[in-house]
Every structure is written in structure tokens, then in C-alpha cells.
Amino acid sequence: MTNKWAHLLLALRTPTAMAGFDTDVWDLLVRQAASAGLLGRLGALAREAGIEEKLPQAVRHHMQAVMTLAEQQQRAVRWELVNLSETLSELQGPVVLLKGAAYAAAGLAPGPGRLFSDIDLLVPKSQIHIAEAALMLGGWNSSHHDSYDQRYYRDWMHELPPMTHIHRQTVLDLHHNILPETARIRTHPERILAQASPLADFPRFGIPCPADQVLHSATHLFHEGEWEHGLRDLVDLDALLRAYGHESGFWTSLITRATELKLGRPLFYGLRYCQKLLLTPVPADVLQRCPRRPGAAGALAMDCLFMPAFSTAHHSCRHWFAGVAVFTLYVRSHWLRMPFHLLLPHLVRKSWKQRVEALVKREPLERAETP
Amino acid sequence: MKTCSQTRWFVPAHASLLIRQWNDEYIVHHALSNDTHRISAIPGELVACLSTFGQQSLSDLARHIDVDEAETRDILEALKALDMVACR
Amino acid sequence: MPVAKLGLLSLDDLARRLAHGLTLTTGPFRFRVHSRQMSVVRGLATLYGEFPIDDDTGFRDFHVRVDPVAGPRQWIRPQVNFWLDGHTPFKPLPLNHAFALLEWGMNWCIAGHSHHYLLLHAAVLERQGRCVILPGDPGAGKSTLTAALALNGWRLLSDELTIVDRDDGLIVPLARPVSLKNQSIDIIRTFHTGAVMGELAHDTHKGTVAHLRPPPDSVSRMQDKGRAAHIVFPRWKAGATTRLSPHSKADAFMHAANHAFNYSMLGRLGFELNASLIDTCGCWDFEYSELREALKIFNELVS
């Protein structure tokens, strides 16, 4: 495996080590961290460890720049929750925040320095259309108007097409499950909703219990196939495990819950790669107790895919096999989401759309320049 | 139901308004929405008064800016739409 | 680390260093610049002679590259692109826009990433220890005025990016070349026959573009922060009487905020920094038609 990211992993595992890095190390590390979406996290870790002043001033400035952006996003999510509390006040049952928005709103361990774009909400399936209607009244518009995309989301997936607020331009993803309707694993979102606890500042909203936060993070990473931020998502998982790992009964509840929700396999992968890359402290027997874990040969085979995929964090540490690995995982993520008769036509269509979008994606200079 | 005279107006805690005045114009920043507004003297004085002195009744506010109560209420409703003030 | 000036290198040495990666300092930023384009080499040689350069080591804020694009466009109506650490944020441009693309790309890097600072879209120059900030509405003649001031004893801090330090509120210089377009180019050439400019880039999205070499004194003082004293909204108008008149401070605040690169991103801090500037500075409208008269008024403003 590459050693070009040795300093990045060391900084994440042992933040105090950053105090000893010279400017040549930082010249690569800042770029790697920025590309991986982890520069803000390094800044937050340095601040927490009390070593911020020991870093070169230019490096501190770059970290502060990203942390400024992260703080703005956290403020923005809090404002959204003020508005959404009103918009969704008539909804029955809990509305649960997931991932980045949950970390920001509830001050959870992965939050400091983390950038995120969308707000993810989980509601009971019976409430999904009422929620959507309420959001539309509140100024949220659905973004995907293509009838195929609408069907993809509404009939097959676990979420509606993303909605954008007409004035504030915030993007919201409304979920009724954490895995698609068509997925090979049939999990139980109603149990996640049942175990959620309300936020003190925004009682209309809840966050999943600690075990569910870990399971959702692992499931999202090892099922969704978005490797651009693979290492960042693993760091989220590591932060959650370090925060909750000391709590009495946590590891047992994690295994119990994984069994109940049938998410033992993604949990296994999450724990395995957290240990390998981030040296997350996980009790010796926990990996062995993961339900539905792969056998030793299966785990080694997946190492050949997941480890190169994580290395795509930056071009400097990208493994030679990463292209093949990421493509294979991309197909796998779709295979996990839908049966074959839907999979192949979907992949062909998606690939065609992406080619067209890539041609027009980059900004013309005149738009990029003006503030 | 409260009568108009019993309604108390105040700046919402989450707004944490920052206010600056230059000549007869006010610039107000709302911390949570991160919106910055430029407002004229009379609405500005209302916001500054509530921000400095805490909750007030409509009649107190009307007296403060030397405007009749009906017009004061209209101004307050406009400020309420921007979440700079609220009432209970 | 040995610090030398770019102008001490021969053109061949400069081309060689640039082909591998040349470290260039501008104000608080160190750029690693990489290019095999001779027009970029020539542009740097003409316009950046006084700038400090270093070995290819240490921490660089931005790793940038301007080079021809691969594939058929290498030969058929060839194009260049701008890379920041391996990513291309823009669409490619014609080959002869290469140096202009480097300048725009460097501006984009600073404007898009340097949120330690409040970044205003304005020129800023200094005389007698007082900085004058010139917010630029398009077509207002800001760049022409900026170039004229820089050529007449004013220290150039920046022609596009007014950088306000969040810790002390002072203005941070870049001292990079002044971007001129269309008629401004000829006006400045006529106005100051000694003005040194780079090659013209025709048919860009701004028309014809060229860059004016910054005064050596401005470059040598690129580490000296400045203190803002005035904000002047210039407006060139044919036949107008030169006139300086007060501009509403509330309006100046909103204009600066709306035209800043990152006012919203800084939240309360953005408000405080912007408000401090408005508190400290005289705010003026400035109408003019003759450059000589304009210079006279500006000199009086800071004396």
C-alpha cells in the first residue's frame, strides 16, 4: 500500500505529531488533506490538541480558512432547522437528522472542521409525501424533473430527489430508509426512528442513537460507492467510535443493533478499515462478533478493492489499482442497491448522462472570476 | 388572546443582531440567518431600541420613535418578516 | 533558503526552472508555478522581474500550472488550461491567452481559498501612509486610474483584490501586475511612455488584455501592510468636471459587502471587519475625465 499518505494518516491518528512536521511535509499534506475533505478536521484536531500555534503560519491560515467555511455551514444548518421546525411542525412522528447535518446540529464528534453540503432527513415512510408537500409549501423545490430520475428515486431508492430551497439554495435529501427499497439487505428504518432522541435546541428533530450513528455511517460508506470522500467518511466513523467507545455497554449494543438491523457486514468493514488506517481502538473480539461478516478470504479480497479506493483521497497517494477498484465498487454498490434486471439499463443510462455532464461541467472563466 | 397593548416585542435570542448606524441609515446583521440588511432611520431606531432595552410594548415603541401605533405596528411586522423582531 | 529576484535569471534559466516548478512570492502567498509555455516565461520575465523566487521546496500555498491541453487541441486551434493541484477549474482558452490565464488563475486561487482574510473586489494603493480603496464597477475606469496612480508615485498594493487581515484590520499587499483592457492599454501607454507592459492577449472574454509591470518599490514593500484611510468610487465620464463628493457610508458598506468575495462566508467577523473599514475611511464618489486632474485630487486627498 502507498506510503505517500503516511503523514496524513499519522496526523489523523496522533494529532500532536503535526507539531513536528516541517514545511516540506506540509507542502504535500495540506493539499492531500484539502483534496480528501480533511483539512478542517486537521485544523480542529490541532486546536483541540493545543498545538495550533506550533504550526507554520501559512498552514494555520489555510486551516482557518476551511474551518471558517465549516462554521458557516454549521450556522446555516441551525438556521435551516429553525425554519424547518416551522415547515414540518404538522408532521406526525420523528424527523431524524443524518450524517453531516446531524454532526453539525448536535455537536457530535465528527463535526468540528467538517464540510458538508446537503441536509439529510429521515422520516417514517407513511409521512414521506406529507413531508414533501409541507416542504414545497415552505419554498423547497424538487431538482430532478426527468421522469426516469423521478422513478429511480421514488420507486426504487430510499430517498426523494434532492430538494433545493428557492431563496437560500440549501439542498435537502428526504429519506424514508437508509438503504433502497430494492436493496439486497432489508433493514428496519422504523427501529432507527424509534430509538432516536430529540435535539435540545430543536425538539422537532432527533438524532439516531450512538450505535445507529455508527451503523449508518458504515452503511453509507460501504454501500453508496462514493469514494471521493471515502477517507473522510472513514474519519467520521473513527471519530464516532472514539467518542462512544468508552461508554459502558456501547460495543455490545453495537453488535446487538447490527444484528437487529442486518448491518453486520458494513459494520465489519467499517471497524476493519478504521483499525487498519486510523488505528481506532476496537476491543479484540468485536470484529469476530460482527454478524454476517465475510470469511478471512473474502475480507482479504475486499481489501484489494477498499484499500486502493481509500487511496484516491489525493492524486499523490493514489494506488495504481485504484481506477479498477473504484469502478468495481461502483458496480458493486449498484448491485447492492437493485436487482439485475434494473441494474444494467440503469448503469448504461447513468454512464451516458455523466459523459454529457462532464463536457459542460467546468465553469467558463468569466463566471468563475466574478464574486 | 392578548390585546395589542399587551403584546411585547423583542429581538429573538438566536438573531444576535449586530447594528451600526451611519447618519440616518442602519446596517443590521442577523447572526443565524447571516443576512445583512440596510434599513432607514425609523425602523433602525426600533431595532436598536429593542436590542438595547429588551422587550417593549407597542405603545412604548411608538412613543420612542414618535410615530402612531398603527404605523409602528406595520413597521414591526415588516421587521418580523426579516426575523429581526418577534412578539408574544 | 536563498532568496533571489526572478529578473536575475536568464530567459533560458527561467524557462528551465518553470518547466520543473518555480516558487514565486506575492505578499503572504507562495505560488509554485509550473509551465512549459514560452509566452508564460516571457510574461513572467517582463512583469515579475522584481519578485522574490525560491528553490522548489518548503510550503507553497498554491501549486499551479498553465500548459497546453492534451489531445487534438494541441495542434488544431491549440488551447491552454490552468491547473490547481491537478484540477482544472476552468474551461481551456486559446494558446495566446496563456499568461492572462495564469494571472486570472492566481487571482482565483487567492479569492477562492483565502478566508483567513476579508477579500474585497477593489483596487488599493497607498501614499503618505494612507491607503485608498477603489471598488470597481465594470466600465468605471478603475483599472486605468489604478495604473496611472501606480505610475505616479503611489504604492500599488493590488489592482483587484483588497485583502483585509482579520487580526489587525490592515491591508495586505500583493503588488502584482495591473490588468488593463481595451482602450485603457493605449491610454496608459500615452499617459506614461515609460510604462512596461506584457504581450497583448486579443479576443479574451474581456476584449484585449495586457498587464502593466508593478513599480519596483511596490514589489520591494510587498510585506508591508497598509492602513485604509479612504474608499473612493471612481467614475470616468467624458467631459466631466473632476469632482470628489461624499458617498453614503451605509451604501459604501453594502457595496463592499455585495462585491466582496467572501463577506457572507465570514459571518459576524465579515460584518465587523467591513464596518471597521467604513468607520475608519472617508467614503467618496469621484467623477473625472482627465487623468492628470484625477491624480492631483488623489494626492490632495491623502496629504
Distances (CA, A) of A187 to A39, A94, A98, C53: 34, 18, 16, 59
Of A166, A121, A173, A186, which is closest to residue A337 (Cα–Cα)? A186
Coil, strand or helix at C233:
strand
Interface of B with A in 67-86 (CB under 8 A): none
**Are B32 and A82 an interchain contact pair (Cβ–Cβ within 8 Å)?**
yes
Q: Which three cell numbers stand for residue A81?
A: 432547522
**What residue spans define the domains of chain B?**
7-87
Order the strands of the B86-87 sheet from edge to edge.
B56-57, B8-10, B86-87
DSSP state of A159: B
Q: Residue A361: what pLDDT?
A: 60
Q: ∠ CA(C251), CA(C257), CA(C260), 5° rounding?
A: 135
Q: Residue A3: what pLDDT?
A: 83
pLDDT band at C9 (very low <50, low <70, confident <90, very high): very high
Q: What is the pLDDT of residues B8-59, one digit of tens each?
A: 999 999 999 999 999 999 999 999 999 999 999 999 999 999 999 999 999 9
CB A176 within 8 A of CB A124: yes
- The C-alpha atoms of residue C16 and residue C44 are separated, in whole angstroms, by 13
- The C-alpha atoms of residue A82 and residue B32 are separated, in whole angstroms, by 9
**What residue spans define the domains of chain A?**
6-369
**Are B33 and A72 an interchain contact pair (Cβ–Cβ within 8 Å)?**
no
C210 - beta bridge partners? Answer: C180
Q: Which three cell numbers stand for residue C60?
A: 507553497
Q: Residue A37: what pLDDT?
A: 96
**Are B34 and A78 an interchain contact pair (Cβ–Cβ within 8 Å)?**
no
For chain A, the helix, strand and coil percentages under 3-state DSSP, each to the nearest 5 = 65, 5, 30
pLDDT band at A350 (very low <50, low <70, confident <90, very high): confident
Measured between beta carbons, which residues in chain A are less than 8 angstroms from residue B14? 78, 82
How far out from the chain centre does Cα C10 lie?
25
Reduced 3-state DSSP string for C141-172: CHHHHHHHHHCCCCEEEECCEEEEECCCCCEE
When pLDDT is averaged across residues C40-63 and rounded to a whole number, the result is 96
**Is the predicted pLDDT of residue A368 greater than 60, yes or no?**
no
Candidates C248, C271, C278; nearest CB to B36 = C271
- How many residues appear in chain C? 303
**Are C249 and B18 an interchain contact pair (Cβ–Cβ within 8 Å)?**
no
Interface of C with A in 79-98 (CB under 8 A): 85-86, 88-91, 93
Q: Please, which chains are in contact with B (at least 3 CB pairs closer than 8 A)?
A: A, C
How far out from the chain centre does Cα A215 lie?
12
DSSP-H helix ranges across chain B: 41-53, 58-65, 69-81
Terminal-to-terminal C-alpha distance of chain B: 11
Q: Which three cell numbers stand for residue A176?
A: 424514508
Strands A95-98 vs A205-207: parallel, antiparallel or unpaired: parallel
B14 interfacial to chain A (CB closer than 8 Å): yes
Interface of C with A in 8-37 (CB under 8 A): 28, 30
When pLDDT is averaged across residues A182-189 and rounded to a whole number, the result is 79
- The C-alpha atoms of residue C164 and residue C119 are separated, in whole angstroms, by 6
Largest interatomic CA distance in chain A: 58
CATH topology of domain B7-87: Outer Surface Protein A; domain 3 (3.90.930)
Q: Is A158 exposed, middle or buried (CB count within 10 Å of its CB: 0-12, 13-18, 19+)?
A: buried
List phi, psi (to 5°) of C137: -80, 145
Q: Which helix (H) or strand (E) holds B87?
A: strand B86-87
pLDDT band at A370 (very low <50, low <70, confident <90, very high): very low
Q: Residue A334: what pLDDT?
A: 84
CB A38 within 8 A of CB A232: yes
Q: What is the pLDDT of residues C97-111, one digit of tens each?
A: 999 999 999 999 999
List phi, psi (to 5°) of C123: -85, 155
Task: Please give the single-letter amino acid code of residue A303.
Answer: D
Counting residues of chain C whose pLDDT is more than 90, the rounded percentage is 91
pLDDT band at C96 (very low <50, low <70, confident <90, very high): very high
Q: What is the pLDDT of residues A266-290, one digit of tens each?
A: 999 999 999 999 999 999 899 999 9
- Which of A82, A85, A86 is the mutation pick for testing B, counting most B CBs within 10 A? A82
Interface of B with A in 27-56 (CB under 8 A): 31-34
Q: Which residues contact C187 (CB under 8 A, 6 or more apart)?
A: C144, C291
DSSP-H helix ranges across A311-371: 322-337, 340-361, 365-369
- The C-alpha atoms of residue C135 and residue A248 are separated, in whole angstroms, by 60
**Is the predicted pLDDT of residue A338 greater than 80, yes or no?**
no
- The C-alpha atoms of residue C260 and residue C234 are separated, in whole angstroms, by 17
Q: What is the pLDDT of residues C161-192, one digit of tens each?
A: 999 999 999 999 999 999 999 999 999 999 99
**C251 to chain A nearest CA, in Å?**
18
CB A23 within 8 A of CB C59: yes
Q: Which three cell numbers stand for residue A127?
A: 409521512
Candidates C248, C249, C271; nearest CB to B29 = C271
**pTM value > 0.95:** no
**Is the predicted pLDDT of residue A108 greater than 90, yes or no?**
yes
